Structures are given as C-alpha cells and as structure tokens.
Structure 1
Amino acid sequence: MRAGLLILVLLCGCSARDTDRDASGHAGAGAGNNKPRVALIMKSLANEFFSTMADGATTHQREHAEQYDLVVNGIKDERDLSRQVELVQEMVASGVNAIVIAPADSKALIPALRRAMAAGIVVINIDNKLDEKMLKSEGLSIPFVGPDNRAGAQAVGDYLAGKLTPGDAVCILEGLQTSENGQQRKAGFETAMNEAGMKIVDSQSAEWEMSKANTIASSMLSEHPEIKAILAANDSMAMGAIAATKSVGRAGDVLIVGFDNIAAVQEAIRGGKILATADQHGDQLAVFGIEAALNSLSDAETELKNVETPVDLVTAESLANDSASEEL
C-alpha cells in the first residue's frame, strides 16, 4: 500500500477480491450494485483523533451496509497537502458519488474540490472549515458539518482561567496557521485568557504535531519561566507539552489544556497531567458528514446547509460523572 494512504472498503457479503478496483488499485465498491459510494478523506492517520473518526465511520457503514459503500482515506501527517489533493483526484477518477473531507488546509484543497463538484460529486466539509472568502470567489457552496471550534476552545480556556490568578503568564501551542479550525481555537483561547486578565507571553504553531510541540513548549518554558499554563490547540500537542514540562523539571507545575478528547488525554486528565480538553465527538463527526452526503444524494433538490455539531468541555469531574453513569 502506498505510504500515507489507508483504504478500508466495507462491503456487505463481499470480499475485496470480488470487487472492482479504485484508481489506486485498491479494492473499491462492489460492481453491479446501485448503492452510492462515499469517500471519507481525512488528515493525519497517525493522530488518534482521525483513527477514531475512521472507526466511527466504518461502524456506521456496517450498520447501514444496505444504504452505501465507504472508502476511507488519510494522509501521513497534517502537512501532506499534495497527497490529500491527490486523494481527491483519485476518488473523482474512481467514480465515487460523494466526498466527505477534513481538509488539511482551508484553501489548498478548494481547487481540487471544485473539480470534484464539476464532475457531479457531492462534497461535504467536516472538521476544518474551508475558507469562506475563497469559496465565494470560486462561486462554490460547500456545506460545513462540524463544531464551533472557537466556542469549544473558549470553554476550555474559561475553565483553565478559573484555576489561575489574573496576571498569570500563559502560552499557546497553535495548530497549522493556514487551517481555519486552528485559527478559531487560537482565537477562543485568546478571548478566554484576555477576558480573565491573563498574560499571553508566547504563541507559536507546532503544526498539530506532538514532537514539535515538545520542542517548542520546552523552549517557551525555558525562555519564560513564569508561565503557569499551556493551551494546546489539539490533544497531540497537549501530550507534547506534558513531555516538555517534564524535560525542564516542571512536571505537575504547569497547567495544560488541549482539544479533541483522545483516549490518551482522558487518561492524562484522570492522572492530573492535563486539566481539560474539548470533545468534538470524533467518532461521530464523519458520520454527521456522511449522513449529510446521503441526504443530498437521495434528494438532489434539497439545499445543503451548514450543520453545527456538538462540542463539550471534558474535565476530571465530567469523566468521573460519565464513569458513574455507566456503572448505574
């Protein structure tokens, strides 16, 4: 299998060797059936959030196998824009009916998606919102199905502010600066910190990556020993921040928050290493997009609209309450 690409095809009662092949030579939807083919194109497969997203999508397809076939794709890391563009092109060439995409960049994927729409393919945007100005200039209308990233980040920041004292120094680990969700999460963090009277002494992009976050956070903490908290725009970077505090001898001394609610961060919250995160329900996020695509395919006259999906604050208290509820 080509590096950076995972294709999972789920077919009811049919093995891969009984199917057609897609443009990459991998198994595609079964020949001769009338079910629509939906392609899910995600970002980094190394990020637990997107593996959770893929699991949720494949589970949904198994439960609705009579309704549609699914092709799941991803890239090696968040910065591999050219490969994600290629995936869009490959899915168009393979004849899918719909593309549900979490774009790695809010602008770079728009030309490829324009060509997909010109080929009659339904396109649904999830996770990271495409740039509205560029869409308008291209004359495109692509619905966004996803959470309010700014509101989610502000909720996390507000919770953090309650554990700090006005005037405390904090820093931000940003996502990719060309990604709308990264921009919105940074803005939400900044609003919460400014309203609470905190001092943002540094803010840098770690490009969603754990190792880069470790390096940058270590530098921040060394340069600004007064830092009391780190706000990370995703959970991978929050995990990198944990390693950074340990490397500079400040483990347990700096409050850390994240965004995504991956399993590793849930354990870190329970263990007191991370204060809070935001849950945008990654296991359902692709499902929301797939359902929007299926609705459009079944009724072409229906106007596609943006759909705001849930985002919730996750803390040690909420995790404990969830566990207690499951035991009842």
Structure 2
Amino acid sequence: MLKKFTAALLSLLTLSLAACGDQQGSQGNASDSADSSTEKTYKIGFVANGATLWEYPKSSINFYMELQEKYPIEVVVFDAQGDAGKQSTLVGDAIAQGCDAITIIPIDNKSVIPACTEAMNAGVPVFNLGSVDMGEENAGKSFVSMIGAGSGLAASEIIGEAFVEHLEPGSKVVSIIGVAGTSETEQRNEVWQKMCEEHDIEILDVQSTDWDASKALQIMQNYLVQYPQIDGVFCQWDDGMVSVAKALEAAGRLEGTFLASIDGNKNGFDLVRDGTMYCTAAQNQKEICEKAVTTTLDYLAGNEVEPYITIPYIKITKENVDEYSPW
C-alpha cells in the first residue's frame, strides 16, 4: 500500500514539474515576442523640395508613408515648397526635432551641402533621394548615400539618343526646362544639348518654367508663334509635356513633331501609350523609395552601405509601356 502511495505521489510531482516547465516555456516565448514588438522605430525627416508643387516629391512621400507599415520607421515631412534657402533651414529643423536620419530631395546641390554637412557632423545621416548629385567629393561628409535613377545626365543621354536617332541633321528643336541654374535642370539638359549640337540639330530656344506646367503651356504657345519650323520638343518633365502637347494640338502642329520627356509618371505613360510622345526616361520611383528606406535602416544598424545606389532610368516607348508601372 505504501509503495502504491509513493508511486502516485511521484507521478503527481512529475506532472506538476512538467506543467511548470511548459508554463515557463510559454512565458519565455511571450517575452521574446514582446522584445520583437518593441523594436526601435527610427524617425526619418523627409526634407522635400516641393511636395505641394511637383508630383515626384509628393509621390515619394506617399511611398514613404506606405513603407511605415512594412519597416520600423516614422516619417516626418518638411516641405521646402521650391525654396532652396528654406530647404537648408528645414534640414536644421529635422535635426532639432530629433530625427535619426534625413531623406532629402535637393532643390540644388550647392545650396544644401552646408546644412547636410552640419547634419552629418551632428550624427544625423543624410540620404539623397532624387537626381541631383551632391558630388562624389561630399560622399561621407554631406551625405551617406545617393539612391535614385542616377544623375540627370543619365536621363539626358536617353533623350539625346532618341533625338539623334529620329531627327535628321538640320532639324530644329526647342527645350522647356525646370528651374534655370539648378543642378537638376542643368544635368537634364547637358548631354541632350551636346548630342544635338554634335549631330547638327539646331536648338532654337531654351526657356525655364520653375517646373510650372502652366508656364510650359505659355512658353510653347510663344514658340509656335515665333518659330515656323519646330521638329522636336524636349520638355524636362512629363506634366510639362502635357501642356506642350496641348499647345501643339491647338495650333495644328502636333502630328510630325517629335516629343520626349523625363520622369515616368502616369501622364508621361499616357502620352507614350497614345503615340503623342515618343519616350519618357522613367524613374522606378517605388523601388527607389524602398531601397532608400532599407539603406537607411542598414546604415543605422551599423552596416556599411554604398555611396551611390542606382536603379537606372528606363526608356519607356510604345513598345514597352505596358511592361512597367508609372508613379
């Protein structure tokens, strides 16, 4: 009888210990889960060039906001509204508000370098999102990485090749650009202009618009009055080209005029798809934004990252327009 009682007692103790072990294991897993749920969230200051003015920064911010659901980031937007001086001040505001990192779409590389250098010196890494190259000599000093489709020179080359391939020597063309004197505008025009000149394509006129589509319309209307022969138009952004096409159509001169632009947003894709425009040099903006976020997080985690990360421009023509998605 005593043996039976002892055996029962031992069995009961064994079950109790097993239950305690399971309970401790369960509590340990819950603790692990709690640790993962309290992963640090990094505050990213998004210093835009003009989200209220232009589609590219507005779309980029929207992509960043969506990425908050996927990555441990909190995005705080600072919008320069097209003012280079204000953008430099906003970099300082992002530092003051305790941002862990800064994403910037520069209006102009020269004007923001001192502010970005100050941020880097303060331990707030800067990541350049866009096509304005801040200069290799400033890598590691004024910015950590430039993530984008490359400088505007790459897009300008795509457009230059298109003009040379489709227009005969002696053709006459015009250009409608963004903000005169800024790096992005100069780079987007530079290679195109050189290639036209080398192939005896005459550039009749180049005028700036401050990236304002209504100004693009007015300038194109003036061109049509001033120049009886215009064989091609290069407009530096898709939304401006919509205005160019309207002016040409109203004047009865759309057919036979070669058109090309840069960006790759929905308006640009639509112009290519319906045959109004030959091509747009498109930026894969959604992929660029996600790569910028993951690069920022890698750097903040102590990993080395490349100073230049390029997701190349894509030449969008009628042949491949349905293979890609616009932004």
TM, length-normalised to structure 1: 0.78
- Tell me: CA distance 1:260–1:322, structure 2 relative to 1, closer, same or farther (3 Å): closer
Q: Distance in 2 between matches of 1:133 and 1:63?
A: 31
Query: 1:88 and 1:240, CA in 2 relative to 1: closer, same or farther beyond 3 A?
Result: same
Q: Unmatched 5+ residue regions in structure 2?
A: 1-37
- Among candidates 287, 290, 293, match of residue 290 of structure 2: 287
| Structure 1 pair 139–42 and aligned structure 2 pair: CA distance change class (3 A) | closer
Correspondence 1:97 to 2:100: yes
What residue number does 1:39 align with?
A: 45
Q: CA deviation at 1:318?
A: 0.9
Residues 56 and 284 (structure 1), Cα distance of their counterparts in 2 relative to 1, 3 Å cut = farther
Does the Cα contact within 8 Å between 1:88 and 1:113 map onto a contact in 2?
yes
User: In the TM superposition, what are the counterparts of 1:133-148 in structure 2 within 5 Å?
Assistant: 135=138, 140=142, 142-148=144-150
Q: Counterpart in 1 of 2:84? A: 81
> What is the one-letter code of the residue matched to 2:258?
L
Q: Alignment partner for residue 196 of structure 2, among 169, 193, 196?
A: 193
Post-superposition shift, 1:98? Answer: 0.3
Contact 2:125 2:143 in 1 (8 A): no
Q: 1:320 to 1:134 in 2, by over 3 A?
A: closer
- Match for residue 308 of structure 2? 306
Contact 1:166–1:198 at 8 Å: present in 2 too?
Answer: yes
Q: Does the alignment pair 1:59 with 2:61?
A: no
State the one-letter code of the partner of 2:182: S
Output the amino acid matched with 2:45.
A
Paired position in structure 1 for 2:73:
68
Instruction: Provide the rounded CA distance (Å) in 1 between the counterparts of 2:137 and 2:185.
Output: 17
Q: Which has the higher contact order (CA 8 A, sep 6+)?
A: 1
SS at match of 1:250: coil
Any conservation in 1 of the 2:120–2:141 contact (CA below 8 Å)? no
Q: Which residue of 2 aligns with 1:48?
A: 55
Cα RMSD after superposing both structures? 2.6
Which residue in 2 is equivalent to 1:255?
258
Q: What is the distance in 1 between the residues matched to 2:101 and 2:143?
A: 15
- Equivalent residue of 1:117, what SS? helix
User: Matches of 2:50 and 2:160 in 1, distance apart?
Assistant: 25
Which structure 2 residues correspond to residues 222-261 of structure 1 after superposition, within 5 A? 222-261=225-264
Specify which structure has the higher proportion of helix.
Answer: 2
What amino acid is aligned across from residue 72 of structure 1 in structure 2? Answer: V
Tell me if structure 1 keeps the 8 A contact 2:128–2:143.
no
What per-residue deviation string (whole Å, max 9, x for no partner) do you get for residues 36-55 of structure 1? 11122222223222222222
- Cα deviation, residue 119, structure 1: 2.0
Deviation of 1:218 (Å): 2.0
Give distance in 2, aligned partners of 1:52 and 1:154.
25
Equivalent residue letter for 2:73:
Y
In 1: Cα distance, 2:245 partner to 2:80 partner: 26
Select the residue among 314, 317, 327 that pairs with 2:319.
Answer: 317
The one-character-per-residue Cα deviations of 1:287-315 (angstroms, maximum 9, x if unpaired) are: 32222221111116x36522222211011
> 8 Å contact 1:260–1:282 — kept in the other structure?
no
Q: Distance in 2 between matches of 1:133 and 1:50?
A: 23
Aligned residue for 1:170?
173
Q: Mean Cα displacement is larger for which, 100-109 or 139-148?
A: 139-148
Q: Percent identity?
A: 22
State the partner residue of 2:23: none
Cα distance 1:285–1:303, how it changes in 2: closer, same or farther (>3 A)?
A: closer
Counterpart position of 1:7: none
Distance 2:215 2:85 in 1: 21
Given that 2:57 and 2:105 are in contact with CA atoms closer than 8 Å, whether structure 1 keeps it comes out as no
Q: TM-score, normalised by structure 2?
A: 0.78
* Contact in 2 for aligned 1:168/1:199 (Cα 8 Å): yes
Which residue identity is paired with 1:156? I
